[in-house]
Structure 1
Amino acid sequence: MGAVIYDALLLLAVWFFATALILPFNSGQAFSSEQYFFPIYLVAVSYAFYGWFWTHGGQTLGLRAWKIKLVALDGGAVGWKEVSLRFAAAILSWGCVGLGFFWCVFDKSRCCWHDRLSNTRLVLVQTEKSGRQN
Structure 2
Amino acid sequence: MSTSNTPTSFSQLPVAGVGRRLAALVYDALIIMGLLMVYGFVAMLAASAVVGLNCQPDQMDYNPCVSGPLFQLGAVAVIAGYFVWSWRAAGQTIGMRAWRLLLANPEGVQLSWRQCALRALTAPVSLACLGLGYFWAWTRADRASWHDLASDSEVRLLPKKK
Q: 1:26 aligns with which of 47, 50, 59?
A: 47
Normalised by the size of structure 2, how large is the TM-score? 0.73
> Are the structure 2 counterparts of residues 122 and 63 from structure 1 closer, same or farther at C-alpha, using a change threshold of 3 Å?
same
- SS of alignment partner, residue 144 of structure 2: coil
1:25 deviates by: 3.0
Matching of residues 18-97 of structure 1 within 5 Å: 18-27=39-48, 28=53, 29=55, 30-32=62-64, 35-97=68-130
1:99 deviates by: 1.0
Q: 1:122 aligns with which of 155, 158, 161?
A: 155
1:67 deviates by: 0.5
Which gives a bigger RCO, structure 1 or 2 (Cα 8 Å, sep 6+)?
Answer: 2
Note if contact 2:43-2:71 (Cα within 8 Å) is conserved in structure 1.
Answer: no
What does residue 132 of structure 1 align with? Answer: none
What does residue 4 of structure 1 align with? Answer: 25
Note if contact 2:84-2:116 (Cα within 8 Å) is conserved in structure 1.
Answer: yes
Structure 2 gaps of 5+ residues are 1-21, 56-61
Give me the whole-angstrom Cα distance separating, in 1, the residues matched to 2:67 and 2:90.
Answer: 38
1:127 deviates by: 4.0
1:122 deviates by: 0.4
1:72 deviates by: 0.9
Normalised by the size of structure 1, how large is the TM-score? 0.88
- SS of alignment partner, residue 122 of structure 2: helix
Structure 1 gaps of 5+ residues are 130-134
Detail structure 1 runs of 4+ shifted over 6 Å in the superposition.
none
Give me the whole-angstrom Cα distance separating, in 2, the residues matched to 1:72 and 1:53.
Answer: 15
User: Does structure 1 residue 17 correspond to structure 2 residue 50?
Assistant: no
1:31 deviates by: 3.8
1:128 deviates by: 4.6
- Give the percent of matched residue pairs that are identical in Structure 1 and Structure 2: 30
Report how many aligned residue pairs link the two structures: 129
